[in-house]
Structure 1
């Protein structure tokens, strides 16, 4: 029953019926309060609907309980941190991104969202450095990878 209802809720969200999905997921979460997957999907649909504050406890449950696939766990860290950042809870967002990076070292999306939170806390130099490293490691650096990597750690260097 739980699996079928969860699949139905995900299908509703994917087919553009997020409010119906939300109602089904809230009921599922009430009946399965320690189910990480149900919590993750419930957080996701709340974020989709712009209900970020309501998403927070579901993200917390999703990350506290066992049972999420690696992809969904990564999505939960990214979504939760981004939600906290959007709510102005920058230091908490940074902590979530750091925890996520402990499990998923080097993930470009986590690092990019973390850079936004770093900027929000006034650490723009660290934010730019983080973004430069993400770019250098991507296929977008072209023949400038080494230079971008260098400047990521030496942003304020002046040639004499």
Structure 2
């Protein structure tokens, strides 16, 4: 299959997923991934289609594949790290979730969603202080609430020392 046909078939599958027909998208993506097992973008879209259908256990292999077999664009890599980390968390694989989401935060430090999902995974591993600190720093740095903005410095200060000592 040539690249234009591959691109067209992949675009059609993504349109099905975003258009509310995820099962049809999944079927097409499974066929594509069978033909292109080393294609990171197809593996990512296949993982996403499984996630949309609440088939998290099946999604993991595709997320892992897309992150290991080839190059993903920046936004797809960001989405794949978040998707895999979140999926691990949903499956109760909390340590792997933390590891994956930490990698995502390291690669994309300005991504608030990655920080938020990491905080949830840290909560699941009992690392409540670090989770709360992450969320407080995120609220302080992104909130447009005038009262949060007024106390931004204090919130950031206490994010490092929730027990009263920074």
Q: TM-score, normalised by structure 2?
A: 0.92
Give the counterpart of 2:132 among 116, 128, 133. 128
* 4+ residue segments displaced more than 2 Å: none
Aligned to 2:118: 114
Cα separation, 1, equivalents of 2:140 and 2:69: 35
Structure 1 residue runs without a partner (length 5+): none
Q: Deviations over 1:97-143 (max 9, x none)?
A: 11112211232111100000110011111111110011111033321
Give the counterpart of 1:96 among 78, 81, 100. 100
Aligned to 1:54: 58
Structure 1 segment 1-160 matched on structure 2, within 5 A: 1-140=5-144, 141-157=148-164
Structure 2 residue runs without a partner (length 5+): none
CA RMSD of aligned residues (A): 1.1
Q: TM-score, normalised by structure 1?
A: 0.95
Tell me the CA shift for residue 144 of structure 1.
1.6
Q: Deviations over 1:21-56 (max 9, x none)?
A: 000000100110010100000000100000000000
Deviates more, 1:97-106 or 1:79-88: 97-106
